[in-house]
């Protein structure tokens, strides 16, 4: 990703850890931690992570579902901290207590790249 201030070119992976509660078959709330891809800006190492909360709306279709999320996060980097919104959309398949999902997430925080993610969730 490239914007007017920063050139993000590394192709590394980050991770997210979430915990949530499904209030209704079509609505859930989640909170979590994300460790984003480390990169470089003008020869300076840039690291970033965030504490996140979100609301998730789901449309279940048999074992498949479509979903959207909107949330707010506290994004921390060595270049400064910010509170900002993020949103995403995805699809998943539930296989017993395990759900596998593919999601695209967009972050309003300028130093965080938008991302695709593959996730596994455990429901109990």
User: Is residue 7 situated within a structural domain?
Assistant: no
Which domain covers residue 46, as residue numbers?
15-122
CATH number, domain containing residue 36? 2.40.160.20
Q: How many domains does the chain have?
A: 1
pTM, rounded to two decimals: 0.82
- Residue 65, CA distances (Å) to 39, 55, 93 in order: 34, 16, 6
Residue 60 falls inside a structural domain: yes
Assigned domain for 91 exists? yes
**Does residue 96 lie in a domain region?**
yes
- In whole angstroms, give the CA distance from residue 70 to residue 85: 7
Mean pLDDT by 10 residues, the chain (124 residues): 48 85 96 86 79 98 97 92 97 96 94 89 92
């Amino acid at each position: 990703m490239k914007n007017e201030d920063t050139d993000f070119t590394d192709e590394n992976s980050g991770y997210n850890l979430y915990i949530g509660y499904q209030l209704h078959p079509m609505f859930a709330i989640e909170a979590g931690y994300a460790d984003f891809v480390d990169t470089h800006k003008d020869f300076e190492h840039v690291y970033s992570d965030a504490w996140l909360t979100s609301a998730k709306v789901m449309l279940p279709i048999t074992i498949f579902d479509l979903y959207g999320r909107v949330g707010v996060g506290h994004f921390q980097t060595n270049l400064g901290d910010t509170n900002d919104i993020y949103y995403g959309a995805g699809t998943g398949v539930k296989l017993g207590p395990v759900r596998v999902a593919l999601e695209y997430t967009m972050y309003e925080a300028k130093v965080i790249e938008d991302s695709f993610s593959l996730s596994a969730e455990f429901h109990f």
